[in-house]
Chains A and B, each alone.
Chain A
Amino acid sequence: MGERFFSKKHLWVLQNGNTATIGITDFLQEKLGVIIFLNLPEKGEKLLIGERFGDIESKKTVMDLEAPIAGEVIEVNETLVNEPDAINDRPFESWFIKVKIGIMPNDMMTEIDYEERIRQLRAQYHL
């Protein structure tokens, strides 16, 4: 079982050796509202840190997904693409893509750091 890290854009990255599994956090799914579409990259596509790799449409908005790490997509969760509202129910089980890691940035947050960040955001913006 690997270790989970978090990006500033509210994506989680579960690292297992040189493979990473990526999804979005409970905080982000709550902010988005009911998710109705998910657009993901194809197997073989390259991820660049900070660059758009897909998007999510909820009833409120369409939001770009920004790559938290660099690497190559090795698997895409097509089941989730067909039932994207599962993300709202089980965000930490709803993985989007698996990636062969190229670069893991060293400013990713641990779970404790991320929970503290969320606590600060909720206090700052009265969420």
Chain B
Amino acid sequence: MKFKYMIETGTDPYHNLAMEQELLRHVTSSTTILYLWQNDNTIVVGRNQDVYSECMAEDFLSEGGRIARRRSGGGAVYHDLGNLNFSILCSASEQKLCRYQKLVIEVLERFDIQPKYNGRNDIVIHGRKCSGNAIYQEGDVVCQHGTLLIATNIERMVSLLTPDKSKLDRNHVASVASRVINLSKINRAINVESMIWSFIEVTKACKLESPLDLNRIRKLIDFYKSEAWVYGGKQ
């Protein structure tokens, strides 16, 4: 089984989720795809969450933020350019060989840090979360994707995702911030670019050269942007 990678240069969440879904079609039992991407100023909710329960949607949108819904489950996340997303797209039969827990830990260990998987979809360092993860499966193809906090604005993240608590309790932001950590604070060699290269080196991935179905991607972008999906979760 070999890895092929794609590095995304755009930061539009609807395009990036569409591209991730399109890349599922390029997975075979001998090819696993590694997709590395970023969203700017975006809140992404899980498959079955209610947008309005997770954030002050109207305020965030009026500031220029974007809200997206992903196909995997779990909780709401905030993405800025200090966060790197990774997607490991593999055949269900090969999932044991490319579990995100093992792969991400190997990627981080290259920076002389000792991360651990906490058994609840998180990767932590000294008990502080640096990566959240989720999985969805379409037919025989599995998407394991997650975030890596590299240099995210943590205060902004906490106040966007828990606005009521953040306003009422001035210790709340500090309290949540103490349970997460930006990787660049642990090792100054860590930035988005060096993290991308660590992924490529650990997986020994070659660049994905297959042609993409641009028409299909355009239709997927429309789907991911649609109000019915973002606010209603309707497929």
- A interface, CB within 8 angstroms of B: 36-37, 39, 52, 55, 57-64, 66
Contacts and interface: CB of A to CB of B under 8 A. Distances in A.
B48 A57 contact: yes
A64 B137 CA distance: 6
A76 to B, nearest CB: 14
Interface of A is mostly: strand
Contacts of A52: 138, 235
Given A37-B47, A37-B73, A39-B233, A60 B138 contact: no
A61 B72 contact: yes
Given A36-B73, A39-B233, A64 B138 contact: yes
Contacts of A62: 47, 71-73, 134-137
Interface of B: 46-48, 71-73, 134-139, 142, 233, 235
Given A39-B233, A62-B71, A62-B73, A57 B47 contact: yes
Contacts of B73: 36-37, 57-59, 61-62
A9 B175 CA distance: 44
B137 A61 contact: yes
What is the interface of chain B mostly: helix, strand, loop, or mixed?
Answer: loop
A39 B136 CA distance: 14
Given A39-B233, A57-B47, A62-B135, 13 more contacts: A37-B47, A37-B48, A55-B71, A57-B46, A59-B73, A60-B135, A62-B73, A62-B137, A63-B136, A63-B137, A64-B136, A64-B139, A66-B139
A58 B121 CA distance: 12
A60 B235 CA distance: 21
Contacts of B233: 39
Contacts of A60: 135
Contacts of A63: 136-137
B48 A39 contact: yes
B48 to A, nearest CB: 4
A16 B86 CA distance: 46
